[in-house]
A and B are shown apart, each in its own frame.
Chain A
Amino acid sequence: AQRVTQPEKLLSVFKGAPVELKCNYSYSGSPELFWYVQYSRQRLQLLLRHISRESIKGFTADLNKGETSFHLKKPFAQEEDSAMYYCALSGMGAQKLVFGQGTRLTINP
């Protein structure tokens, strides 16, 4: 079964503090993992994907196949990071995305 679990519905941290949004998955095979973000009154957009191994807006995520996790991290949170974050997976090159339930991140000043 394909499943993505984001254990935290809400996460609140102070500006400048480290942020970690958790994501665990189950998938038989080699999935592609993504983080999507939705800022207030904006569309859902791709933040990063495990294949590209990039750091976007200071965020990084490492795929841990042993723990089946793909946690999103940022060392110093900024107020503009406040948004809804979704972890998602797909088969390699496939279009069907399986989403987690999302984590609402709030950065307090």
Chain B
Amino acid sequence: KAGVTQTPRYLIKTRGQQVTLSCSPISGHRSVSWYQQTPGQGLQFLFEYFSETQRNKGNFPGRFSGRQFSNSRSEMNVSTLELGDSALYLCASSLVGTSGNNEQFFGPGTRLTVL
């Protein structure tokens, strides 16, 4: 099975711009979660989508948004970029089957640099 893929792998943007990141989960996985990783704050949960619905949301401003398509692929969008948004954005997918089977499989990440 192919792993979680994320595109693009690297992005450079300037302050005020917006950006869209894409994540393709493992085939059959219906849950997609997004995380932001920075040296200062570590790994922080952004949001989770399941069956095209946002099920859970972390403590991030409304500039961060996401969506999930019927094929379970997900995108996240960051509008009005700030310097502090520079980070590695990780996507993880999960089968979400029976209770306890919620292992998350991570993608390689998208490295966003805001200048």
- A: residues with CB less than 8 A from B are 32, 43-46, 49, 51, 86, 88, 90, 92-102
Q: Are A96 and B42 in contact, with the CB atoms below 8 A?
A: no
* A43 cross-chain contacts in B, Cβ below 8 A: 3, 106-109
Residue of A nearest to B41 (CB): A101
- B: residues with CB less than 8 A from A are 3, 31, 33, 35, 42-45, 48, 50, 55-56, 58, 90, 92, 94, 96, 99-100, 102-109
Q: Are B108 and A97 in contact, with the CB atoms below 8 A?
A: no
Choose one: B31, B106, B109; the contact of A95 (CB below 8 Å): B31
* B43 cross-chain contacts in A, Cβ below 8 A: 86, 88, 97, 99, 102
Residue of B nearest to A88 (CB): B43
* B104 cross-chain contacts in A, Cβ below 8 A: 46, 95, 97
The majority secondary structure among interface residues of chain B is: strand
Choose one: B3, B58, B102, B105; the contact of A93 (CB below 8 Å): B102
What is the CB-to-nearest-CB distance from A101 to chain B, in angstroms, rounded to a whole number? 5
**Given that A43-B3, A43-B108, A44-B90 are contacting pairs, would A97 and B45 also be in contact in the complex, using a CB cutoff of 8 Å?**
yes
Residue of A nearest to B101 (CB): A93
A36 CA to B12 CA, complexed, in Å: 29
**Given that A43-B108, A44-B106 are contacting pairs, would A92 and B33 also be in contact in the complex, using a CB cutoff of 8 Å?**
no
Q: Are B108 and A95 in contact, with the CB atoms below 8 A?
A: no
**Given that A96-B45, A102-B42 are contacting pairs, would A49 and B94 also be in contact in the complex, using a CB cutoff of 8 Å?**
no
Residue of B nearest to A98 (CB): B45
**Given that A96-B33, A96-B45 are contacting pairs, would A90 and B90 also be in contact in the complex, using a CB cutoff of 8 Å?**
no
What is the CB-to-nearest-CB distance from B59 to chain A, in angstroms, rounded to a whole number? 11
What is the CB-to-nearest-CB distance from A34 to chain B, in angstroms, rounded to a whole number? 8
Choose one: B3, B99, B103; the contact of A92 (CB below 8 Å): B99
* B45 cross-chain contacts in A, Cβ below 8 A: 96-98
What is the CB-to-nearest-CB distance from B55 to chain A, in angstroms, rounded to a whole number? 7
Choose one: A86, A94, A102; the contact of B102 (CB below 8 Å): A94
A83 CA to B109 CA, complexed, in Å: 18
